[in-house]
Chain A
C-alpha cells in the first residue's frame, strides 16, 4: 500500500464514513481513559501503574519495569513493604522499601524508607528538615510486578520525536483504516 492509494482511500470516503472513523477513534481514547480512571477507583491509588525510573531498587526492579499499586486506607503500612511516595519539591514519585516504622495508638504512623541498592536511608531525599514519611505521602504500595513493559514509556519520554511519530502513526492508522 503506497501513499497514493492511502490518499485515494481517504478521498473515496464520504462524510458519513469519515465521521464514523473519527467516532471510533474517540471511542478508543475514551475507553483507555475509562480503564485508567476505573483502576484508580478499584485500587484507591492516584496512579495505579508506575514505571520504575531509577536503579535504586536493583536487582529487584530495573529501569523500565512496571509496578501495580494499591492504596487501601484500612491496610496498615508495615516494614519490608515497597511503597511509592511523593516528596515535596520532587515531581517524580520514588519507589523504595520501608525500613523503620513507629505507630502511635491513634494509628498515626511515621516511617523511614531506603532503596535496596542504596547504602543509606532516604532522609537525604526527603524535603529539607523532613525526617519521616507519613500516610499522606504514599501514592501506593507495590503489589504486582511485570518486567520490561515500561521501557516503551521511558523511550517515549526520552525521545519526544519518537513519541510524536508513534502517536501520528497510530492516529493515521485508526482514521484511515477501513473495515
Chain B
C-alpha cells in the first residue's frame, strides 16, 4: 500500500525532475546563440579638469567630462532565456602609469518586454570619469565601447561586446572655468 506521504513524495520528486529537465532545455536552446550586434556611439562634448578627488585619495586627479550620442536596437537579443540585459558604456585607455584603464561611464538595465530601441542624444554620463592620476589631459586614444551582460532565466552569464566602438581624444588644456 502507498501512504499519503509516499504519494506526495513521488509526486514532488517527479515534478522537480521535470522542472529540472525543462530548465536544462531552456538553457541548452539558447547557449549557442550569437548575441553581438552593431551600435553607433559618438561623443559630442569633451573636456577635462584637474580637481581633487575627495571620494578617493584627495589628490588632484584628471576628471573627464563628456556627453555622447548612442543609437542601437537590441530588440532581437531577447528570447525566452533572457531575463535582463545590463548595458554598460566603457571608456578604455592607456596612461603612462597604468597599462590598462577601464571606466564605466553609463549603464542601463533593460528587462524583457521593455523598450530596447535606444536613441540617445547628448546624454550625460552616469558616473564620474576619474582617472587614476593625471593621464586624461591630451590623451589621444580613448575608446568607448558598449557591452552587455546577459542575465538569463537559468544559464550562463556572458558579457558581450558590441561592434562599433568610438575613439576620441581629450583636449590638451584643462578647463578651469565652471561648465
Contact = CB atoms under 8 A, between A and B. Distances in A.
A103 B88 contact: no
Contact of A144 (B130, B153, B155): B155
B104 A80 contact: yes
Nearest to B111: A59
A101 B100 contact: yes
Interface string A100-135: 111111000010000010000001000000010000
Contacts of B90: 79-80
**Interface magnitude class on chain A:** 20 to 34
Nearest to B130: A100
Interface in B149-165: 149, 151-157, 159
A60 B159 contact: no
A78 B159 contact: yes
A39 interface: no
B21 to A, nearest CB: 14
Given A79-B88, A99-B104, A123-B56, 10 more contacts: A59-B84, A60-B86, A60-B151, A80-B86, A82-B157, A100-B102, A102-B100, A103-B98, A131-B57, A145-B154
**Interface magnitude class on chain B:** 20 to 34
A142 B157 contact: yes
A137 interface: no
With a 10 A CB-CB cut-off, give which of B99, B153, B155 has the most chain A CB atoms: B99
A102 B88 contact: no
A79 B103 contact: yes
3 A-B pairs with the lowest CB-CB distances in the bound complex, closest first: A79-B102, A103-B100, A105-B99
A23 interface: no
**Interface on chain B toward A: helix, strand, loop, or mixed SS?**
strand
Interface string B94-120: 000111111110010101000000000
Interface in A130-179: 131, 142-147
A29 interface: no
Interface in B3-60: 3, 23, 55-57
Contacts of A100: 102-104, 130
Contacts of B127: 99
A81 interface: yes
Contacts of B151: 60-61, 145
Contacts of A78: 102, 159
B109 A116 contact: yes
Contacts of A142: 157
Given A1-B3, A80-B90, A82-B149, A101 B155 contact: no
Contact of B152 (A80, A103, A110, A145): A145
B5 to A, nearest CB: 8
Nearest to B132: A102
Contacts of B100: 101-103
Given A102-B98, A104-B99, A105-B99, A79 B157 contact: no
A101 B101 contact: yes
Interface in A26-40: none
A147 B159 contact: no
A104 B154 contact: no
A144 B102 contact: no
6 contacts: A80-B159, A82-B149, A99-B104, A103-B98, A103-B100, A103-B101
Contacts of A99: 103-104, 127
